[in-house]
Amino acid sequence: MTYDFSQLDTGLQAAKEWLMREYAGVRTGRATPAILDSIGVSAYGSIMPIKQVANISVEDARTLRVIPFDMSVAKDIERAIAAANLGVGTNADSAGLRVTFPELTGERRTELVKIAKQKLEEARTAVRVARDECWKAIQEGEREGDMSEDEKFSSKDAMQKKVDEANSGLEQLFNSKEKEMGA
């Protein structure tokens, strides 16, 4: 009996998707709407994601345009963006808000690369946890007589190959983000 790696695959994919979401929120000097995804706006008596109260579009390389569905929440959106401490400037006008991204300084780039490395390490930790759970299940399968010792070791090799591929994918994500930041 060969081991079913579906649970491991799910864990590895989840780690990669998490890292991609985290990297989408790391500012690189280029304006991307994903940077505002984590911001909650206090509107209509509750905290709502910014996407639920406004349209966000890219105006140019360093400017986002935020157009509220209801102009009465424009000030709330402006306050929420300022409170998020993203290092961006906001200007309100009759059509909505303009979010401007200043040029990255060398010091800020270094700081962002450190943050990206921390996120990479967190994703690697998630991969290690998934690998450990899989290995325990493989060993348990051998103990219960569901697989032979040879099958256990071939399953371990297949598991390690999947883990190595996942780590390599995470490393590629980090390298592309680092290149994007110009570090």
* pLDDT given at position 125: 94
* pLDDT given at position 27: 64
* pLDDT given at position 82: 84
Chain centroid to CA 6: 22
* pLDDT given at position 183: 54
* pLDDT given at position 1: 52
* CATH number of 6-24+105-181, picked from 1.10.132.20, 3.30.9.10, 3.40.50.300, 3.40.50.150: 1.10.132.20
Tokens matching residue 82? 């300022």
pTM (predicted TM-score): 0.69
* CATH number of 33-100, picked from 3.30.1360.40, 3.30.420.40, 3.30.420.10, 2.40.50.100: 3.30.1360.40
Residue spans of the chain under pLDDT 50? none
Mutual orientation of helices 149-181 and 106-143 as an angle, nearest 10°? 170
Tokens matching residue 170? 């995470």
